[in-house]
């Protein structure tokens, strides 16, 4: 069986070029967010075992996603929050597989900046579109 990635593209409000892709394996979902050709951080987004067992608690605000930095700066809390929000969106769409997230972090920066919320909304909308697609 051949596994093919699903891909969508977009341009952020600030003009940054994005490529979003997913590869759906039997036991994992790999999601990549390439920003201007760069992808330099990797996260494991495990869903708490309790959340998997109890379908009744699968509300977006109760999802227990705690990103684990595999590659990148583990001290950058801003990126961990972004990764956690992406994980919540993915799991809220019904995914019960372990998620590996790869993304470009330079676009986000390290410190809180004006426009961060708009950046997050843009990315979350694209992730929802990508993961919600059947491909």
CATH of the domain at 33: 3.30.230.90
**Is residue 67 in a domain?**
yes
- Residue 60: is its pLDDT beyond 50? no
In a domain, 42, yes or no: yes
pTM (two decimals): 0.85
Given this model, what pLDDT does residue 133 score? 73
Q: What per-residue string of b and e applies to 56-89 under the rule 16 or more CB within 10 Å gives b?
A: eeeeeeebbbebebeebeeebebbbebbbbbbbb
What b/e string do you get for 100-111 counting C-beta neighbours within 10 Å, with b at 16 or more? bbbbbbebbeee
Is 1 part of a structural domain of the chain? no
Structural domain boundaries enclosing 106: 17-132
98: number of CA atoms within 13 Å, CB side?
A: 9
Q: What is the total count of domains within the chain?
A: 1
Is 62 among the domain residues?
yes
Closest CA to 100 of 60, 50, 41: 41
Write the pLDDT tens digit of every residue in 11-31. Answer: 998 899 999 999 999 889 999
| pLDDT above 70: percentage of residues in the chain | 84
Please report whether residue 21 resides in a domain: yes
- Tell me, yes or no, whether 27 lies in a domain: yes
Instruction: Tell me which residue has tokens 């993915």.
Output: 90
Is residue 11 domain-resident? no
Does a structural domain hold residue 7? no
């Amino acid at each position: 069986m051949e596994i093919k990635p699903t891909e969508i593209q977009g341009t952020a409000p600030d003009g940054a070029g994005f490529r979003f892709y997913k590869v759906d394996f039997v036991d994992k979902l790999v999601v990549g967010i390439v920003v201007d050709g760069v992808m330099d951080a990797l996260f494991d987004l495990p869903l708490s075992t309790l959340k998997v067992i109890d379908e009744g608690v699968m509300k977006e605000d109760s999802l227990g996603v705690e990103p684990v930095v595999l590659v990148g700066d583990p001290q950058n809390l801003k990126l961990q929050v972004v990764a956690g929000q992406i994980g919540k969106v993915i799991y809220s769409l019904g995914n019960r597989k372990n998620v590996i997230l790869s993304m470009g972090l330079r676009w986000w920066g390290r410190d809180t900046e004006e426009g961060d919320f708009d950046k997050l909304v843009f990315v979350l909308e694209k992730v929802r579109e990508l993961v919600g697609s059947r491909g």
